Structure 1
């Protein structure tokens, strides 16, 4: 099976598994057995005819990588393993390597390693690099060789073959470069603004600034021949080699292909580099330019029908530039054989999945599972649990009711202020679109100074988007343009965002888009700070409310989507940011708490359009499902995804399969091991467990079969950068990439030494389309039950698409979302727009649980105010305080020095029946139980005839507290109850209490006490 996978993988990566099929300057091969990785991925096998003090090597190595002269050289005797002590470099550049080496004590075979590197085991970011250059040769030997050199007395080493350590490492054939002289000679014989080289999908064009040696060896450039099957999505390339002038706009024309009376129409042929469909489902045409002397492949796809008649289809593709210079290429595609049922998708070498780049799957406004159709009555729009009333003259909310709780103290206002005062701009809202999942409207008003238009939408998940356009009729001095959201203070006890952690709403607060120096968030995260340390925190969104109702507001820009993560830092929206003049204010006065986003003064030129985009999300987005929280227990073990019987006995129901293990080795590309994943899923479905998969977008492994096609799209999918990282990336990508996750693969998965990823792009990247189509494929072909998302950066539209795509295939799929607060700078704020589409959060990496206030726990970690629940992570969390929110760690989350096995608490859950209990948190307006000390909180889990009390001391001092119990809420008679703290391993020893007792509570600790009828 492994050999089959190797053949599939490396065929699609551009290698020939059946021997050398391309003319080359040397014999190229793959080592029968991979040598020590530290020696590097490449070597020349040398033959020395006789012993000598010095041997000369002339190696026409034709290298594509950079800084070849700075690498370490090693020459080793193949039989003895001895290292040749002296190497004198005569010429070392990308084209040639000329050396003297010696002394050589015997004739025979020698290995020349020219890219050895430091192997870095484990994971993270690769930072070790290549070994430094070898030591200078011995002076006496050098003196002797200098004398011999003048007499021309050196024997020559011959090159038996050039080897790569594995197929995956090979430069052959598409990275064996033509020399400058060969290129010049070929150009003189073949003049033109550019040349076109047809190329099979088996040999993806890899190099951007070098021409393959293969291309200049008599290849027929006028004809491409291919073989396909009915229903196949057939891919091939046309490689463009620019002349000495930049090509500013490459395009193509075709009238299709014909075989007798049968046709493959032009519409069935697409060039992915030029034509596409963006993640919103809108077609686009892309401008392709090529620098002088550079290479640009054009990847084409041919969409063959299921009943495509057999035959040889012929036609022409004409490639032209902006001057009209054109190069025709004849195309012959032989169609034969049986219908290819899967379009070719199960055979990765076919590149048929490139069509996924233009997929529109999942784009729909239909409500996803768990949500209801929207309704419109007069000026009121309703969705699940929430109703928004609109002022039909301003288009803004006058009332926001969330699950029966009114949030607004007065209408929301969008204010434009000039020296003449506030503009009074009233218009009429026109309904422009209405469906079961989306309501749209437009609004327009004007005066002598300006025109103001607005397009607004509200969707089934409670998300509302306003896009205002301000267009002055004359030059206009603006004092401020701002958004005011006035909320009832009783409805807004908590706040988060604008640089603040989850906390009680401050009486007054102001800030800009960035704050330098020590931040108020520091106490909640494990990022050390000092007066000399400066951190930047995004200020694009905030949330204000309670666990009953709240409003999340995100300030957006015309091209902005998704969370502001440290890997993805889109430009701040110019309208709100206004070169740093924009900012935020919170004012809490009496029964009114007003959040204001202002943009500051500016001058607008006549006719200049300025867009203010903001989105509101009404929370909670759904009802908390505590039954699922206490029964759907997670097994999450990155390196060992297979649970044991002890895990099953503990009640685990959901298995998260992370990446970087034998089952899912390559980050964000699980397709290569899909068969193994399917077998795993089938096995655990048989044991009553669901299986979810780590599969996201943020970074992408180097083992992706289509990686070279993706590189050909410029920075659309793979973000540019300064390069570096793992040697494989330096040797093959060479330039224009940003290295990311690195995982050394101990067992050399599929012949690959490491999973070395690069950063992907955001925004209009068609990788989003591929990702959604791939998700549906995974659900259908492997049977997975959903996704584990780890700090991703796409917008809410993607979450909605993903939900739709999964539900088309398999209703009931689940998503949990993980984030590191040091990474996303406040995940609950940054990811709020995701919450309608996720089932559980796992916020807690880098959180310092013992330093967090109850408000911070509730708002920023628990998920409860948003209709979700969560688990703990960093350092095992705090098992006593976590129970206040129904949280434990995941199994088997064990941290050195910290006992955090949740199975003992889970056993108590089962014995008590917590999954059937009503959770009454200490944060409720009328909690069931309070204590005599405000720093000691109680959450009650009320069951019929018994209640489980979670008592937590958030202070740093030991407390003794008396419980104040609302017996009516518990449904118990205080005169006939037993209060027992059962023994729970690593949590508490057994103890009895009475309602009148003072209960001792250690700092940052607590109790689980069952109050039951006698």
Structure 2
């Protein structure tokens, strides 16, 4: 997680809930230290000094145990009053007595806290009460004597204040008193549940008690509101299960009858809590129960047609549940004559954007650049640079990659990945039986970017069905069902992937970091590890695979894996009997995913699901990569451009994008900055992911009402705002102290993805952003494809770069960042891997497979401590401005003077690279132009060494006899030096050279 932030000043808000509590001008500081006193206070006026005065605070608190939280009284002189006694504390009222040595305004802080932990992951603990009053004062003041206490002078209540307007408790958080609740129930003596219609301006904030507002108004009544034509009107009905639990809540609507016989159909209304369209575009229904005593807000929406006649529209919404009387709320919606702009979406506080939760925007099988349509020629399927040939059982019989080793084009002869067809084998007492079908797969075309097929057959004693698909990016998805027709005892069910030896050069995953593929390896399932697959391959051809079943749920990532870990696949894991082995077997490299012995009963079905991806996904484009130079911070555009950068990444916690993953609240500022950048020939990308969500999102109360569909379940805690305004069941996430922005973790896969896609579409259309900076994202390729599509639809040159901190640690379940995000790689443009990556003590194979992105069709940059600039140049990598630890500007100058954008990049991994060292610990990459070549040399040798370059002069088009080899002076990188062809070039450990051969 990136940690650069711009401070934001806080503003104080004074808030009064009733006319009698209006605050007056007071000689007490309006700004106070929340970390010392908390976020909330009442002020009272003491007219003259007194040994003791009484104060009564009608705070109507939502925290369940206010008697267990301290109170701090501060006098007009700014000093804490130590002589204070708590007379009576409950949720409705606080009564206390304190010593008033002087007249004036006293501030009474009633939720003080202390903060511990990291600044960006704070833990707020509320102070417990403690006795500070002098015993003599307690006796003399009568604070402990109820008869005497009633005679004390009463401080005049002035009003309630919060440290700022955002922290202030709303009218929906002022609780009803027991007496008020009793009165409400008396009006409905037999009702098992009560309904409270409410406008969007007053979102329900409490789920275990009702607000004063409802108690005073009473249950039921008509919901009335105003809206414009073509506006999306959001509203709520709060259901309070007051006397018993309510099960299986259902909602129905009638048509809305308007003026002159006009009608808004019931189909224009929806209830978000009872289902909708999921992030994959599929409809779903939610079963909703309300436990006794709980309040369930039901958020609803009305899509008012643009053709609606102005006037009053009347209808009904009826709520039903099992075993309780249905209740009906009349609706009275006044539609104005004006037409809403963009359904009202340009103002997030209108909550019209809730309709985005059910969006299917960009949910299709259309192509994304640079991918080409899937071709079908019998059993042979073709995609960009790759072919997959199917066997009768539906699994791949052969996979061919046409990419060349340079990764910039295609080879004449493909690299075949498989030594033999893949097989799913079922082994019993009679031997091993391969899954097979009597007919060839019948491939159906879903669209240019996707095909699917099914087969039915047998695998020994089991019946099999295979449902599979191939997409244009190289993703193969298999759902394999094996069903027993009679009781059967099996010794194993396993998948065998026999790779060709020359295709299995490198491997990462299953507890191994990127390296050369091991000759012999064994792995077992473990829920502590976010591991269910691996990638094995060469630079120009490889296979990623993941083993899953029908219960798969995407785990949380980046610090939160153990809050929602991998669901062990019943089929593959088999109660700990399953695992994976790799083994060199002659000329092939055999991958075996086994599940071990088991018995199956008649009719039992096991699901052996597999997701595979064929790499590379696309060619790399070094010229574009070198031309796009990143400045990763908000700043003055002219200053940024003068430093050589032309792409600006705008993080959150900046003036134009202040709130994490909610970039909609400063649109004018953001648009002005983007426009100014475009005028200078620069591009602007913003930070926006959905791993977590800012507490500033106006939709947050509505999302909280959806249970854990969007907000992950968790222990609560964290920053004070979260504890004071949410219901307690969440995971506290990133916090920015400078502007008091606090976030909660999203649930990973939810309708918030639909909202996110619509939000990006809105930003691309209205703000003109040029792309996204993704920082450890939590969504999968389904959403990533949609991201790419909406940006491509509205921006001429959209860019997406992905940053990851190194996830290979116990906190994140030892998952390789590359493997975690490989499914997204087809749709992004650049990697930034990243924080906690070790650039000094890892091998060239690790750099190639874990950091560079090149085997997958990407290039990248370095981050941690500036990276290693010598090794980085072997992969076309520098670090970014303005990050400390390294400055790429001098390298950029050399790039420009050499003309690197016109050069062919030939990496050290290419077997016939024209410049070689004939060593494994000192490597060379060539940047070849007409008549000259830039050679990047970098060492992994443990000490000082020297190398002699072996040069293919013909390939470079340079004559040896007249060639010069010059290392230009580069501040912070190398001194000037000149060498002759054939010279021994000295190389320091961990360093290298950039030399021009011409």
Aligned residue for 1:716, secondary structure, equals coil
Q: Choose the corresponding residue for 2:424, options 414, 419, 423.
A: 414
Tell me what 1:958 maps to.
944
> Conserved in 2, the CA contact under 8 Å of 1:363 and 1:804?
no
> Conserved in 1, the CA contact under 8 Å of 2:939 and 2:987?
yes
Tell me what 2:692 maps to.
699
Alignment of 1:64-463 (within 5 A): 64-78=62-76, 80-102=77-99, 104-118=100-114, 123-131=119-127, 133-146=129-142, 149=145, 151-152=148-149, 153-191=151-189, 192-219=191-218, 221-260=220-259, 261-403=261-403, 404-427=414-437, 428=439, 429-446=441-458, 449-463=461-475
**Structure 2 vs 1, CA of residues 563 and 110 (structure 1 numbering), >3 Å: closer, same or farther?**
closer
Tell me what 1:856 maps to.
846
Tell me what 2:632 maps to.
636
Q: Choose the corresponding residue for 1:548, options 540, 546, 549.
A: 540
Aligned residue for 2:217, secondary structure, equals coil
Alignment of 1:680-829 (within 5 A): 680-745=673-738, 753-763=739-749, 765-822=750-807, 823=812, 825-829=815-819
TM-aligned CA deviation for residue 564 of structure 1:
6.2
CA distance in 1, matches of 2:625, 2:116: 39
CA distance in 2, matches of 1:488, 1:148: 87
CA distance in 1, matches of 2:398, 2:329: 64
CA distances 1:460-503 after superposition (whole Å, capped 9, x unpaired) = 11111111011111222222222111111112211111111110
CA distances 1:239-258 after superposition (whole Å, capped 9, x unpaired) = 11112211111111221211
TM-aligned CA deviation for residue 66 of structure 1:
4.4
Alignment of 1:17-36 (within 5 A): 26=21, 33-36=30-33
Aligned residue for 1:174, secondary structure, equals helix
CA distance in 2, matches of 1:248, 1:627: 62
**Structure 2 vs 1, CA of residues 259 and 654 (structure 1 numbering), >3 Å: closer, same or farther?**
same
Of residues 220-229 and 662-671 in structure 1, the stretch that sits farther from structure 2 once superposed is: 220-229
TM-aligned CA deviation for residue 998 of structure 1:
1.1
> Conserved in 1, the CA contact under 8 Å of 2:277 and 2:359?
yes
> Conserved in 2, the CA contact under 8 Å of 1:148 and 1:154?
no
**Structure 2 vs 1, CA of residues 861 and 831 (structure 1 numbering), >3 Å: closer, same or farther?**
same
CA distance in 2, matches of 1:696, 1:310: 40
Of residues 645-654 and 682-691 in structure 1, the stretch that sits farther from structure 2 once superposed is: 645-654
Q: Choose the corresponding residue for 1:970, options 939, 956, 966.
A: 956
**Structure 2 vs 1, CA of residues 160 and 564 (structure 1 numbering), >3 Å: closer, same or farther?**
closer
TM-aligned CA deviation for residue 590 of structure 1:
3.2
TM-aligned CA deviation for residue 650 of structure 1:
4.0
> Conserved in 1, the CA contact under 8 Å of 2:232 and 2:355?
yes
**Structure 2 vs 1, CA of residues 788 and 741 (structure 1 numbering), >3 Å: closer, same or farther?**
same
TM-aligned CA deviation for residue 436 of structure 1:
1.1
CA distance in 1, matches of 2:221, 2:176: 20
Q: Check if 1:466 corresponds to 2:478.
A: yes
CA distances 1:374-420 after superposition (whole Å, capped 9, x unpaired) = 11112110011111111134443334334321111111111121222
TM-aligned CA deviation for residue 324 of structure 1:
4.7
> Conserved in 2, the CA contact under 8 Å of 1:362 and 1:803?
no
CA distances 1:21-71 after superposition (whole Å, capped 9, x unpaired) = x76995589999544433322111112343221222233322112443343
> Conserved in 2, the CA contact under 8 Å of 1:279 and 1:769?
yes
Of residues 418-427 and 31-40 in structure 1, the stretch that sits farther from structure 2 once superposed is: 31-40
Aligned residue for 1:337, secondary structure, equals strand
TM-aligned CA deviation for residue 811 of structure 1:
4.5
> Conserved in 2, the CA contact under 8 Å of 1:274 and 1:287?
yes
CA distance in 2, matches of 1:29, 1:179: 26
> Conserved in 2, the CA contact under 8 Å of 1:75 and 1:83?
yes
CA distances 1:586-609 after superposition (whole Å, capped 9, x unpaired) = 112332111222222222222122
Tell me what 1:571 maps to.
567
Tell me what 1:582 maps to.
578
Tell me what 1:750 maps to.
none
- Over the aligned positions, Cα root-mean-square deviation in angstroms equals 2.3
CA distance in 2, matches of 1:889, 1:913: 19
Q: Choose the corresponding residue for 2:530, options 516, 534, 538.
A: 538
> Conserved in 2, the CA contact under 8 Å of 1:371 and 1:384?
yes
CA distance in 2, matches of 1:101, 1:556: 65
CA distance in 2, matches of 1:509, 1:447: 27
CA distances 1:561-601 after superposition (whole Å, capped 9, x unpaired) = 55662524231322222222211111123321112222222
Alignment of 1:489-638 (within 5 A): 489-514=501-526, 536-560=528-552, 562=554, 565=557, 566-568=559-561, 569-637=565-633
**Structure 2 vs 1, CA of residues 496 and 226 (structure 1 numbering), >3 Å: closer, same or farther?**
same
Q: Check if 1:990 corresponds to 2:976.
A: yes
> Conserved in 2, the CA contact under 8 Å of 1:73 and 1:113?
yes
TM-aligned CA deviation for residue 321 of structure 1:
1.2
TM-aligned CA deviation for residue 649 of structure 1:
3.3
> Conserved in 1, the CA contact under 8 Å of 2:555 and 2:566?
no
Of residues 768-777 and 912-921 in structure 1, the stretch that sits farther from structure 2 once superposed is: 912-921
CA distance in 1, matches of 2:19, 2:326: 30
> Conserved in 2, the CA contact under 8 Å of 1:235 and 1:299?
yes
Q: Choose the corresponding residue for 2:911, options 922, 925, 947.
A: 925
CA distance in 2, matches of 1:75, 1:290: 40
TM-score, length basis structure 1: 0.91
CA distance in 2, matches of 1:346, 1:231: 13
Q: Choose the corresponding residue for 2:835, options 836, 845, 855.
A: 845
Tell me what 1:521 maps to.
none
CA distance in 2, matches of 1:344, 1:376: 45
Aligned residue for 2:572, secondary structure, equals helix
Tell me what 2:884 maps to.
894
Aligned residue for 1:405, secondary structure, equals strand
Of residues 302-311 and 419-428 in structure 1, the stretch that sits farther from structure 2 once superposed is: 419-428
TM-aligned CA deviation for residue 99 of structure 1:
1.7
Unaligned runs of 5+ in 1: 1-9, 516-535, 746-752
> Conserved in 2, the CA contact under 8 Å of 1:120 and 1:744?
no
CA distance in 2, matches of 1:577, 1:821: 27
Of residues 467-476 and 571-580 in structure 1, the stretch that sits farther from structure 2 once superposed is: 571-580
Tell me what 1:673 maps to.
666
Of residues 557-566 and 536-545 in structure 1, the stretch that sits farther from structure 2 once superposed is: 557-566
Tell me what 1:487 maps to.
499
**Structure 2 vs 1, CA of residues 147 and 494 (structure 1 numbering), >3 Å: closer, same or farther?**
closer
> Conserved in 2, the CA contact under 8 Å of 1:391 and 1:397?
yes
TM-aligned CA deviation for residue 119 of structure 1:
6.7
TM-aligned CA deviation for residue 932 of structure 1:
5.1
Unaligned runs of 5+ in 2: 1-9, 404-413
**Structure 2 vs 1, CA of residues 448 and 509 (structure 1 numbering), >3 Å: closer, same or farther?**
closer
CA distance in 2, matches of 1:132, 1:675: 45
Aligned residue for 2:574, secondary structure, equals helix
Of residues 382-391 and 153-162 in structure 1, the stretch that sits farther from structure 2 once superposed is: 153-162
